[in-house]
Chain A
């Protein structure tokens, strides 16, 4: 009979416990964590990624803008619906003073993050328009890549539960767990050199389609339940509330704006809304 590592314990007898290999592995993983996962570069080198787009907008749109009179935050529907030049003309102000930095898959948490990170400049705005959608308030127990990058430990503990919370706490200490998509993107970039840049229009709007996460678009409770199963939580607008609180502290008038829905998905969303509101 042939010896087998599965059925014979004889072949698996180990002499003594010497975990030197494990120690070396731990050290190598620590090096990866410190010199790769904790570097901003790994998260932002691809402009057309969830973190890269925020970084690109901050560097290429917010930073060069001298004065913001009207600021628009929201998702791609809001980005497409509010044209800065038209709004500026209607309000009789310079078109450079209207900034629509809404982005694809932008959630209230993303708006809050952008506002927090650029508060010094954005707090001087005279009017903040926030795009709100039913589905933006729908929360699942799956943290987004932006949440993984921008969230504090307290937010990780407070807004997720069970496995997701444990994973977020672990990844707060071991950032490689958070940065896995970025590391994957870096590998793709090295091997295949795909185009990682986004288009920024002359009016500052950023055109980008999140093809990586297209399957995760949860535009109604019904659809979200089908995709996420029991990981769907409920309507929860904590990020929107927090953003509104910050605006109140800064004395900024806020206009909540919801672009009309006219597509089939809009109908599904409307049906879900009538059930849940």
Chain B
């Protein structure tokens, strides 16, 4: 999975030089940006994504039930749905981002 995610860097980067810089930054755990928000925001986004993924995966794995979320209490389910919708709205981008395979 890590290999696949690293390969995405080459899909996303406009050229090999940028991809190399990005990978170097990942390897050295460094960024050119220095402000607290500039460094903290991507880390928070990463942590949020991880939390979302594990929030679905762990209950499924523990109970061996793919639809365990449907048995959550109604309030928790409602809260989860509302939170997901809000995340989609608040973190949306207005910039045009073409579907990645349209670039090939």
Contacts of B36 in A (CB 8 A): 192, 194
Contacts A21-B78, A25-B85, A29-B85 given; indicate if A5 touches B92 (C-beta within 8 A): no
Find residues 211-252 in chain A having any chain B CB closer than 8 Å to their own CB.
215, 229, 231
Size of the chain A interface, CB-CB below 8 angstroms: 31
Find residues 3-59 in chain A having any chain B CB closer than 8 Å to their own CB.
3-5, 11-12, 14, 20-29, 32
Q: Give the A-B pair count, Cβ closer than 8 A.
A: 73
> Which among B70, B75, B86 is the interface contact of A29 at CB below 8 angstroms?
B86
Contact B94–A20 (Cβ < 8 Å): no
Contact B66–A12 (Cβ < 8 Å): yes
Is B18's beta carbon under 8 Å from chain A?
no
Is B54's beta carbon under 8 Å from chain A?
no
Find residues 53-101 in chain B having any chain A CB closer than 8 Å to their own CB.
66-67, 70, 72, 74-75, 77-82, 85-86, 89-92, 94-96
Is B13's beta carbon under 8 Å from chain A?
no
Q: How far is the CB of B51 from chain A (nearest CB, A)?
A: 15
> Which among B72, B77, B90 is the interface contact of A180 at CB below 8 angstroms?
B90
Contact B44–A23 (Cβ < 8 Å): no
Is B5's beta carbon under 8 Å from chain A?
no
Contacts of A184 in B (CB 8 A): 90-91
Contact A180–B70 (Cβ < 8 Å): no
Q: List the A residue with the shortest CB-CB distance to B38.
A: A192
Contact B86–A176 (Cβ < 8 Å): yes
Is B37's beta carbon under 8 Å from chain A?
yes
Is A142's beta carbon under 8 Å from chain B?
yes
Contacts A11-B66, A192-B37, A229-B96 given; indicate if A22 touches B90 (C-beta within 8 A): no
Is A191's beta carbon under 8 Å from chain B?
yes
Q: How far is the CB of B41 from chain A (nearest CB, A)?
A: 8
- How far is it, in angstroms, between the C-alpha of A11 and the C-alpha of B89 when the chains are bound? 30
- How far is it, in angstroms, between the C-alpha of A188 and the C-alpha of B39 when the chains are bound? 12
Contact A188–B77 (Cβ < 8 Å): no
- How far is it, in angstroms, between the C-alpha of A23 and the C-alpha of B89 when the chains are bound? 19
Is A183's beta carbon under 8 Å from chain B?
yes
Chain B: residues with CB nearer than 8 A to chain A? 35-37, 40-41, 44, 66-67, 70, 72, 74-75, 77-82, 85-86, 89-92, 94-96
Residue pairs across A and B with Cβ atoms less than 8 A apart, 22 shown, are A4-B66, A11-B66, A11-B67, A12-B67, A20-B77, A20-B78, A21-B74, A21-B77, A21-B80, A22-B78, A24-B77, A24-B79, A25-B82, A27-B78, A28-B78, A29-B86, A183-B86, A188-B41, A191-B37, A192-B37, A192-B40, A215-B95
